[in-house]
Amino acid sequence: MKIRVLGCGGSFGSPLAWGRNGNIDIINLHNHRTRSSVLINNNHQNILIDTSPDLRDQLYKAKCTKIDAVLFTHEHSDHTAGLPDMRAMSLINKSIIPAYVSPDIHESMTSNYTYIFEGYKDYSPFMKLNTIQDRFNIGDTNVETFKHNHGIIDVQTYRINNFAYSTDIKNFYEKDIDKLKDLDLWIVGLLRYDSHPSHAGFEQILDYINYLKPKKTLFTHMTALLDYEDLLSKCPKNVEPAHDGLEIIL
């Protein structure tokens, strides 16, 4: 299985705008982050988690011309707004691409992107919306999922074999964290050092890592308040910030 971090920035990306560099060293390209998403290649299938507003450029840089399925973590626009770019993938492969969402957002995704899922006037639909279950298969890839808290809404963690992706996380519910034991790679959201009403801070995420002890942990969804080298210097062994285009083979 190959995991590519397509983007690892927060909802604004990093830097915020020209000359608005936050705390990052603008010379270090690892600090230039597009909005968060990952591409998983498993058993010759390409599975995308989220469609960020930067999707077109992210897939171009990944030399990716085929997406077999899209898993959505939640409906915030930094995770969904690139959805119209999936039309090219559908056109190239002459395929209707399946998307997977929680029951909570099925209706709003359909109404926000009606032309994509149901067609509109002379536009034919090019994706099919499916509702997730706790465990389901995409081809011969087994996907496990559960909700975690992100302030006033919930977000799906996804686990495929010994890889898991938990972005935009404030808290786990009850004992759900135990579903992330024995991971080879955990990609987890870290917005900034201090906590935010919808995102956990650095100390809390480190507590989760200490509890789970994944073989490797990468941070994603980072704002321009987090400089790559500064954050790396504060990280324990086997924990590091991701950067756009980083690929891990598991």
Residues that bind Zn ion (CB under 5 A): 11, 76, 78, 168
Residue type at position 242: A
Choose between 68 and 78: whose C-beta lies nearer to Zn ion.
78
Beta pairing, strands 141-150 & 153-160: antiparallel
Choose between 11 and 21: whose C-beta lies nearer to Zn ion.
11
Under 8 Å between Cβ of 241 and 226: yes
Under 8 Å between Cβ of 222 and 10: yes
Q: How far is the CB of 148 from Zn ion (least distance, A)?
A: 11
Q: How far is the CB of 75 from Zn ion (least distance, A)?
A: 8
Q: How far is the CB of 151 from Zn ion (least distance, A)?
A: 8
Choose between 42 and 58: whose C-beta lies nearer to Zn ion.
58
Choose between 105 and 138: whose C-beta lies nearer to Zn ion.
105
Choose between 4 and 76: whose C-beta lies nearer to Zn ion.
76
Q: How far is the CB of 74 from Zn ion (least distance, A)?
A: 6
Cβ contacts of 106 within 8 Å, gap of 6 or more: 129, 131
Q: How far is the CB of 221 from Zn ion (least distance, A)?
A: 6
Residue type at position 82: G
Nearest-angstrom CA–CA distance, 69 and 81: 16
Under 8 Å between Cβ of 166 and 186: yes
Residue of this chain nearest to Zn ion (CB atom): 76
Residue type at position 84: P
> Other C-beta atoms within 10 Å of 108: how many?
12
